[in-house]
Amino acid sequence: MKTKTTLKPPHFSSQTLTFLEKAGRQKNPNWLEKNRGEYETLLANPLKHLAQHLKSNLGPLAPLYHFPQKGIGRIKRPSNRVKERGGSLYRDWMTYSAARPAESRFERNPSLFFLMNPEDTKDSVLVAGGLYMPSSRQVKAIRHAIGESPAFVQELDKLFASKEFSKCFKGGFSDERISSRIPRGFDPAHPRMDWIRLQAFFVWRSYTRKEFASPKFAQFVERDWRQVLRLNALLDKAIRGLTSKPKPMNTSELADQLDVLKHRLRTPDF
């Protein structure tokens, strides 16, 4: 009786980062074609599998997010970039990200991010999410939500303290990008001034080489991106101004508005 064998899906290995390092040193335009087999085995196919896995498992949770499936894994740099900036013909890093399509080229939505960068020997492989390059409007909206809505702060505290989130992203927001000054209009004694001073609202974590080379790596990224989606939902809420409750009118304010409205009304002429 023949034993049924199942093919394991493609996954990254310890040689993937080495391949990217090697690519970053190349000047020969034919290098990629000569190393096509390695490229597909070590980088392209595992990345495509990761993209498919994330779309299949997270797409239903984030139906408005775009999970790219085509054109990913390209390491050849555009010829105009090489001409302008010099350097290798090939990238020595690789990224993959998913987000809701932006409505403006000047402003991006909260996203899910994955990076391979062997140049960073400490954090060669990592995931991140949230807003790394928010617009000034987005920064103001999020700061306002933190400064004026205790309920929003409570939601963030609850998220960061949850077992699932803290297991993936300890400490909550990264303090990599923070203002040296207290933003105008905020009380310096505000209990969450550490968040109000942030210039970007994101979280990140790196993986060990062992995790990266594991056949279960796609599941690790899925687990972490699930938590990022929870954060992105809160950031979206703040950006859209849904954290602030309308200020209730007192009796005199309501009477004044009704009086104005009464004088604006006129008898219909039909």
pLDDT band at 246 (very low <50, low <70, confident <90, very high): very low
Domain membership of residue 264 (yes or no) is no
Question: Does 176 fall in a domain?
Answer: yes
Residue-range definition of the domain harbouring residue 212: 14-245
Distances (CA, A) of 239 to 142, 185, 234: 6, 18, 9
Per-residue pLDDT averaged across 160-186, rounded? Answer: 96
Q: In this prediction, what percent of the chain has a pLDDT beyond 90? A: 79
Report residue 233's pLDDT band, with 50, 70 and 90 as the boundaries: very high
Name the more confident of 158 and 105: 158
pLDDT higher at 6 or 172: 172
- What confidence tens digit (pLDDT) does each residue in 49-60 have? 999 999 999 999
Task: Indicate whether 252 pLDDT > 90.
Answer: no
Is 5 among the domain residues?
no
- Is 171 within the bounds of a domain? yes
- pLDDT at position 268 is 38
Name the β-bridge partners of 115.
Answer: 95, 126
The Cα 134–Cα 129 span in angstroms is: 12
Cβ–Cβ < 8 Å for 164, 227: yes
Q: Where are the beta strands (DSSP E) in 100-213?
A: 111-116, 125-131, 201-206
Listing DSSP states for 83-98 in one string gives: HHH-S-SB-S-EEEEE
Please report, for residues 100, 126, 168, 256, the alpha-carbon distance to residue 220 in angstroms, rounded to integers and kept in the order given. 22, 11, 10, 59
Q: What is the pLDDT of residue 1?
A: 54
Of residues 253 and 13, more confidently modeled:
13
CB 219 within 8 A of CB 140: no
User: Which DSSP state fits 246?
Assistant: P
Q: Is residue 253 part of a domain?
A: no
Q: Where residue 244 falls among pLDDT bands split at 50, 70, 90?
A: low
Q: How far apart are CA 87 and CA 25, in angstroms?
A: 8
The reply to whether 256 falls in a domain is no
Domain-embedded: residue 43: yes
Q: What is the tally of structural domains in the chain?
A: 1
- 74 belongs to a structural domain: yes
- Is 16 strand, coil or helix? helix
Q: Is 57 exposed, middle or buried (0-12, 13-18, 19+ CB in 10 A)?
A: middle
Residue 167, pLDDT above cutoff 70: yes
- The better pLDDT of the pair 8, 29 is held by 29
Quick check: 76 and 32 in contact, CB under 8 A? Answer: yes
Closest CA relative to residue 203, chosen from 164, 173, 223, 239: 173
Q: How far apart are CA 253 and CA 237, in angstroms?
A: 29
